[in-house]
Structure 1
């Protein structure tokens, strides 16, 4: 990791004014935390005990806790094969329940919050501590590969703002990975894949200025799966579902105005890990994205370090620069 990258991660901050702080508190983020060591039913009971609310059994391995102090919370075994659709027959429900009973120790349980104000994240951290004290285990169970996902609300539909965030994330990703201390198991599994090198090079070109349709086509061509560190498909589909469907060749299932930030670790029980800390790291990405001059400098630095690694691309870029003068 470059020293400048670590410095940026350590020092980048969102503007510290009372107005901006209030704005940050009103922003919403959805939290998804994976863990093992307890069933969805047990987790739902712990959530209700500490947060109040009403438990609703959706199926044998999926429960919602409504009207808690921080809104709705879903607890479920993280496998689509063990959950029954509403129209399922009694036999199908029984088969899926048994499948969940058998695989429960091999598949993580997941806690999913409704979108909630950033100011409520400490409350989620406290809830995670309660789950850990009751026996929930995270990344320390290597066979489960537990992770944390943040669904970060983004209401700006301008493609330039989305591109700047993606560029800032790609520039800071090496420092973020070092700071997060990647779980080895997660690096071996496909759930949190890195962006293809060719796509990364396209996006980090300072001269890359696509319109929305071009950005969607470029993104979907190289990232048709949700399994990316920073999944943009839900956000892009929330802006123009038809454009995403055309680019993918199929419907995008998750549609919401959020960056889906897929973190590789959920270290329940580790006093040095928290959702709030990961959120603060994310804010360093937004800080770089909002500083247009600094972002441009970083993009040019990146190009200077990498442009000669692809001779054909370098010649094309040089030709384009000469012709544009």
Structure 2
């Protein structure tokens, strides 16, 4: 039986079943062990790209396994060595390069995580990722809490229900209202909080978006997002969906950001608690369901938007906003 709650809307913007992708970071396990799990327990077919980057074929598409270190996965050492050998006229042997790569890989494994990225999975099949993390945990894989400096994350890419601006605005409002509560409820690790990956949205953007007079076109919505958030460093990253809608606009504004256009919200907040007692990805997904529920409850979305704006404007509040949200959740 799956522990994943269903969203209110299960079809995507094309009226097909929604898909969800996951990116899971972890360490404390050898690459060969991970490959064995993916091949033997899940019958995925291995396609080796290089020593630190693998694709594994499944009926849903390719799973990606990599050491999250571009110097190795994109073979920058090998390419640099080849260029150097041409420049100085000395042949640098492939075996020597691979030995250097292996040494760097071994040294970096304790700092840089392995990452498994799933293809977009149908909504009714996403329980597969709990099965996968359970297998990793049995083989002693460890996540965020294993060491103080492990800022490992779980990213969830949730296909949107609509490309219309009102839907995107409603989901954004819902997340802005809930972000402080979700941060607290998820017990986000300090190493992740201080990392340059998952900043909360700032008060000026929250006030701008929640104002009931804000009725943007899609182009205005994109422009405003880029103005207030010219970065991937947000706990809910809208750049992939905005780039999917208007790639030229986003690229012109953020030419150096690494953005993959896709019709999905890029939810980056969660700890990756692989190996922690009883933890499952479904816990993190079910927090996202709070966003889904509020985004599709217009009456309460408008109510909480007004209350939050008042809360932000007050010099003194007798209760925290997280407490107000928690009370609302308990009653709905």
Normalised to the residue count of structure 2, the TM-score between the two structures is: 0.80
For 2:209 and 2:30, the matched residues in 1 are separated by 42
How far apart are 1:250 and its partner, in Å?
5.2
| 19, 29, 32: which one aligns with 1:28 | 19
Partner of 2:57: 66
SS of corresponding position for 1:190:
coil
The secondary structure found in structure 2 opposite 1:107 is coil
Contact 1:83 1:96 in 2 (8 A): no
Q: Which of the residues 227, 232, 245 maps onto 1:226?
A: 232
Alpha-carbon distance change, 253 to 41 in structure 1, aligned in 2, over 3 angstroms = farther
Unpaired stretches in structure 1, ≥5 consecutive residues: 1-11, 310-325
| More deviation, 130-139/220-229 | 220-229
SS at match of 2:140: coil
Q: Does 1:108 find its partner at 2:98?
A: no
- When residues 250 and 104 of structure 1 are mapped into structure 2, their CA distance, relative to the original with a 3 A threshold, is closer
2:145 maps to which residue?
Answer: 140
Which range moves more in the overlay, 27-36 or 195-204? 195-204
The aligned residue for residue 93 of structure 2 is none
Greater CA drift, 97-106 or 159-168: 97-106
The answer to which structure, 1 or 2, has the higher relative contact order (CA under 8 A, 6+ apart) is 2
Alpha-carbon distance, 1:21 to partner? 6.3
Residue 73 of structure 2 is aligned to residue 83 of structure 1 = yes
Alignment check: 8 A CA contact 1:13 1:287 kept:
no
Cα displacement string for residues 30-85 of structure 1 (whole angstroms, at most 9, x for unaligned residues): 01110010244431222111101211211111111112x65421111112222235
Identify the residue that residue 322 of structure 2 maps to in structure 1.
none
Distance 1:154 1:21, change over 3 A: closer
Following superposition, the deviation at residue 247 of structure 1 comes to: 3.1
Most deviating of 86-95 and 28-37: 86-95
Q: Is the 8 A contact 2:23 2:156 kept in 1?
A: yes
Q: Which has the higher helix share?
A: 1
| TM norm structure 1 | 0.82
- Partner-residue secondary structure (3-state), 1:189: coil
Displacement of 1:249: 4.7
Q: How does 1:38-77 map to 2 (within 5 A)?
A: 38-67=29-58, 71-77=61-67
RMSD of aligned alpha carbons: 2.6
Secondary structure, counterpart of 1:193 in structure 2: coil
The answer to whether the 8 Å contact 2:52/2:72 transfers is: yes
Comparing 262-271 with 28-37, greater Cα deviation is found at 262-271
Which residue number corresponds to residue 126 of structure 2?
121
The answer as to 2:242 corresponding to 1:236 is yes
Alpha carbons 1:132, 1:269 under 8 Å: kept: yes
Correspondence for 1:302: 308
CA displacement, residues 213-240 of structure 1 (integer Å, 9 cap, x when unaligned): 1111111122222121000000001011
2:160 aligns with 154
Unpaired stretches in structure 2, ≥5 consecutive residues: 83-96, 316-332
For residues 148-167 of structure 1, the C-alpha deviation after alignment (integer angstroms, 9 at most, x for no partner) is: 10000115111111011011
> Measured at CA, do residues 146 and 87 of structure 1 come closer, stay the same or move farther in structure 2, by a change above 3 Å?
closer
Match of 2:320 in 1: none
Report the counterpart of residue 8 of structure 1 in structure 2: none
Query: Structure 1: how far apart are the matches of 2:125 and 2:261?
Result: 23
In structure 2, relative to structure 1, the CA distance for the partners of 1:130 and 1:163 (3 Å cut) is: same
Secondary structure of the residue that 2:74 maps to in structure 1? coil
